[in-house]
Amino acid sequence: MTGRGSQKTARLERLKLEIVEYISTNPGCSAADIVDYLSNTRRMRNHGLTSRKVGFFIPRYLKSYVMFTLDRSTGKRVYSVA
């Protein structure tokens, strides 16, 4: 997100809050689970995250709150609260 608008920062903060809240209630979730929660359950249709982008978003903005491990069978990232 580029720019300095207050609405843009509010959206970013809400997105971060929703992701941390979901991971804290559902530890061991994948990026696809997070995107499904945001799109379908919370109805945040314009969040702009795909399963691939979640892998970049979490280390950039939430590295002190969320950690991940690699699932041995599938090789996917499994997220949990740090």
- CA-closest candidate to residue 37, choices 59, 15, 7, 69: 15
Which band of pLDDT confidence, cut at 50, 70 and 90, is reported for residue 1?
A: low
**Model confidence over 14-32: pLDDT tens digits?**
999 999 999 999 999 999 9
Q: Amino acid identity of 31? A: A
Paired tokens of 45: 């249709």
Paired tokens of 39: 């799109």
Across 3-7, 8-12, 52-56, 75-79, least confident range: 3-7
59: helix, strand or coil: helix
Phi, psi of 46 (to 5 degrees): -105, 30
The pTM (predicted TM-score) of the whole model is: 0.85
Pairing verdict, β 77-81 and 66-70: antiparallel
